[in-house]
Structure formats: C-alpha cells, structure tokens
Structure 1
Amino acid sequence: MAGYSESRARVRIWQSQGENNMAMIDHPVPYEYGGKQYEGRIVYDDSVSGKRPAIYMQPDWLGVCSHTVEMAVDAGQSDYVVLLVDMYGKDYGGMKKTNEELGRVARGNRANIEFILGCGAAAGESLTAEAEKMGLIDTSKIGAVGYCMGGGYLTEQIRDGAPYKGSVFIHVTLPMTVAPNRPSDISGRVLTIHGTDDVVTPVPQVDAFQAEMTANGVDWQTMMFGGAPHGFCVRDANDQLQRFDQKLCDQTYRLMRDFFDETL
C-alpha cells in the first residue's frame, strides 16, 4: 500500500498497489463533547459503490493519527466502512508523547465511565450520521472493534447497551468494568482475540471478562494465540510490552471478517 497524501479538502487518499486496486478515503468528521473539539474519521474504499456494513472502531491509546488510520484501512479494506473514533481531542494524535504521558491520559479516560459513554456516543452519532448522509453505510449492519485501551472503552459501551450486532476485541486493555454496580446489558455477539503472553492484559483478566459474559447470557468466543504478546496488530510495536506479528495480525483480520460476515 502506498502512503497517503492530503488533498485540499483534507481528505486523505490511499492508492493500493497489486491485484486489489483500492482507493481508500480518510474523511474527517468533527464533533464536540463536554466543550472540547474532537475529530473522528470515516475510512472507506471509494472504488466500491453501494452501501456497506460499518465498523465502529475504538483505536489504541495513540488516538486518531496516521498509525490508527492505517489500522482502519487494514480492518475495513473494500468490505466495510470504518468509523474511527476520537476519544482524546482534535490534533492529539499528531502530538509527540511519551509512553508515560499516553498511559496517564488513557488511564484517566478509562476510569471515567461517564466520559467513555458520553464521548463514545457523540462520536458514534456524528460518524454514523455523516456516513449515512454520504450514502456509504447500511445502518442495520454496524459492528465494532476495539484495540488495546480502545477495547477497554468499548467494553463499557457494550455493557451500557450500545447496539452493535457484534464486537471484536483485539489485545484488549483493562476489560473489567470500573463500575461493577452497573448492570451489564451486552446484546450483541463478542469475539476476543488475545495472546497468552500478554503482560498488559494477563489471561486471568480475559477469563474474568468471559465469566461476566457467560453470567449474562452473551454469545461470546475467544481466540487465544499461544505465546503471543500484547500489540501483535500494532505495526510499530517492538518493545518489552508489545510486539507486532504479521502472521498473527493477518489471522486476526481473517477471524474478524468471518465473525462480521456471520453477524452483520
């Protein structure tokens, strides 16, 4: 895939190389929550006509940036329109940040369930309305995917009844609720894809999430990759906590697509 360039209308365009000739569009969508400005993205293949299923995407702690937009391209390809959510504020993704700063901001968000639900809903409403206005999506077919800390945010949204037919969690961070007294109202199917050697989210945390879903009658499934660390779908990951793995990432997206094909 070639890198993206920015047009005068601030719509970024990818032109893929090889057999699949995709023209990937990155369309910015501004919205406001709590007096703060945010900017999500609609990522889709402009060479495809007609309405497609949508995937509401909660990215990792980097927020909306070239890295997570490229992850949206990988996830959506020509089959889905990806609604990429901003939970950190406009231009946050482009700022230089240390891991300590990233962790502080992300953990602060994760501890604030009112913010997660409010900002997440504002993003979903704005992105869905814009994609529908553009004639891109079938609003009866919307799933969700969450990566790392974004997966933690998404767990709270589906517990609160977010109406996604299916949700996929890829190396989720902090899946257990910060509001244990709130009832769980997960209505859609759930697929969790994780690594047995994930030190950010050890397997017992995933086990507890599964037990919660079982207790609430959720249709769930989990794929555990033996020996896999955190971040196997994060292309730039290569440190003590996380490591990219092309083979596992490709397998993850095949599993995700099969799941959404069955569910949406």
Structure 2
Amino acid sequence: MNDLLTPVQRDVRVRDVEYSHDGTLMIGALVATPGTRRAPGVLLVHDAFGLGDDMLARARRLAALGHPVFCADVWGERTQPRTEPEIGPLIGAMVTDRARWIARMTAAHKAAAAQPELHGEHLVALGYCFGGSSALEYLRSGARLVGAVGIHAGLDLLDPRAGWDAAHPGVSVLLCTGADDPMATPAQREALQAALTSAGIDWETDVYSGTVHAFTSPRAANSQRPDVTAHHPRSAARAWDATTRFLRDTLPA
C-alpha cells in the first residue's frame, strides 16, 4: 500500500485517538503532516463499514493537500462490520435514537478539537454513505462547523420532521449523489434543498448520471445489486474534485 502513496502522502502521520461516549470506547484517528498546528480541517465520518483502511487512505489524501483530518469512530471500538446482518442493527440503533447519534458525533468533534493539529471550530464534516447522513444531521443539530459534505449520503436516514433552524448562520453544504440512488431519491433531494434554502443555508448538489449508491466504494465493484450499489470511478473522481474545491472555498486559509 505504501508504494502507491505520493512522497507527500508518505510524510503524513496517523495517530490513533481514544475517546468515549456513554461507556463505549471509540478509537478514532488523527491524520496530519508533521508540524501542523491549530489548522482548519476535516471531521471525517466513515460509511457503514466503519473506520477502516479505505477511510484512512482518504484521510491521508486530504492531509497531503493541507487539510488535517480527525477520523470519527461512530460504531465504537473500531468496529468494522462486513455483512448486512451486522450493519443493519448498527444503523438502526442510530436512526431510532437520534440523540445518541448526535451525541456520538459530538464526542468525535470534542476529541478532534482536543488535538493540537486541529482548530475545533474551523472544521467541515465530511461523510460517505451513513457518514454523509451523519454529517448532515450533525450540522442540522447546531454543531459548530463551517460546513458539511455528504458523498452518496443516505437521505432516507435524515429526520424528515426536523428543520434546519438550529444550524449556525454562514454554514455551507455540498451533496454529491447519484441520479439513480434509491437512498437519495429526487424527492428526498428536493426536500433537503428546500429545507436548506428556507434556513438560509448555502448549498450545492452535484448529481451524477448513471450512478447509484456507494459509487466511491471499491467494495461495491462486484455488487450483487448493481441497481442499488455500484462502484462508479468517474463519478467518484468528480465527487473528490468537488469535495476538495469545497474545502478550499469553505475552510479559512
């Protein structure tokens, strides 16, 4: 794996960070280049498969671009489920107890803010799949962030009854989604955009044709349900470009 890294990415340091919520040990990670101090950065939220090598690789790429990253561990104990029977209850436990879901995100944010490399109030929450839903819900709850990015976020997991009035003024939202994603339908996109507009939040939605859910994930390359999840390299590259531009535009210099 290290042979595939650029020289700058090889210089990036990864440090496990333990924190806790409600008696559960969380094992996040701080990813940054040496010498980084109190810099604006990213709160990265993993997909349904947990904080694994793929998420850490994304964090390395971001840190190499000058954006230090704190990787959250929402499931706790660095749990990395592999099958739907494992994943379903984990997501269900968050969706049915949204206060706990937000508290897990808050715990990660506090842990990020405690790291000397990061400025805790100059962070963008960036999430993939379930992590994208988490980033959006956390921003909506009033988190002190400057923005949120949802990459193939499950809009079906968002609370349809909750407004965005608690979100802090001046925040921005980027949504990168597949046109055919069954977990982020046109109606769900339109409802989110209307809610953001009503709350005076700056937003951008990038919609990719011929693309379904989990399009950035190599795990979806051999999907048994390509009408639901499928890897789409071109859409993944477009989402990465949109994300890095958003970070440049949104985070303080």
TM category (shorter chain) comes to 0.7 to 0.9
On the 8 A contact 1:53/1:81 being kept in 2, the answer is yes
**Partners of 2:54 and 2:157 in 1: how far apart?**
26
Corresponding residue SS for 2:107: helix
On the 8 A contact 2:16/2:28 being kept in 1, the answer is yes
2:59 corresponding residue in structure 1: 72
CA gap of 1:97–1:257, structure 2 versus 1, over 3 A, is closer
More helix by share: 2
**Partners of 1:91 and 1:20 in 2: how far apart?**
26
Matched, 1:254 2:241: yes
1:111 corresponding residue in structure 2: 96
**Partners of 1:139 and 1:120 in 2: how far apart?**
13
Corresponding residue SS for 1:261: helix
Letter in 2 for 1:92: T
Corresponding residue SS for 2:66: coil
**Partners of 1:21 and 1:123 in 2: how far apart?**
24
Letter in 1 for 2:69: V
Q: Measure how far apart 1:37 and its partner are.
A: 0.9
**Partners of 1:18 and 1:117 in 2: how far apart?**
36
Corresponding residue SS for 1:253: helix
**Partners of 1:55 and 1:178 in 2: how far apart?**
24
Matched, 1:120 2:105: yes
**Partners of 1:243 and 1:91 in 2: how far apart?**
25
- Alignment match of 1:220 (pick from 192, 198, 203): 203
Give deviations 1:124-159, integer Å, cap 9, x for gaps.
1112202x2xxx234453111111111112222111
Give the gaps of 5 or more residues in structure 1. 4-14
Give deviations 1:38-76, integer Å, cap 9, x for gaps.
111112234x65554210111101111222222322444
Matches within 5 A, 1:88-167: 88-93=75-80, 97-130=82-115, 132=116, 136-139=117-120, 141-167=122-148
On the 8 A contact 1:158/1:186 being kept in 2, the answer is yes
TM-score by length of 1: 0.84
Q: Measure how far apart 1:108 and its partner are.
A: 1.9
On the 8 A contact 2:139/2:147 being kept in 1, the answer is no
On the 8 A contact 2:42/2:124 being kept in 1, the answer is yes
**Partners of 2:18 and 2:136 in 1: how far apart?**
24
Corresponding residue SS for 1:220: strand
- Alignment match of 2:20 (pick from 22, 32, 38): 32
**Partners of 1:86 and 1:257 in 2: how far apart?**
22
- Alignment match of 2:29 (pick from 37, 41, 47): 41
Q: Measure how far apart 1:77 and its partner are.
A: 3.0
1:202 corresponding residue in structure 2: 185
1:12 corresponding residue in structure 2: none
Give deviations 1:93-124, integer Å, cap 9, x for gaps.
2xx53123212211221221111111111111
Q: Measure how far apart 1:18 and its partner are.
A: 4.8
Corresponding residue SS for 1:236: helix
1:87 corresponding residue in structure 2: 74
On the 8 A contact 2:112/2:120 being kept in 1, the answer is no
**Partners of 1:97 and 1:233 in 2: how far apart?**
17
**Partners of 2:49 and 2:7 in 1: how far apart?**
31
On the 8 A contact 1:175/1:209 being kept in 2, the answer is no
**Corresponding pairs, count:** 245
**Partners of 1:217 and 1:179 in 2: how far apart?**
18
Corresponding residue SS for 1:86: coil
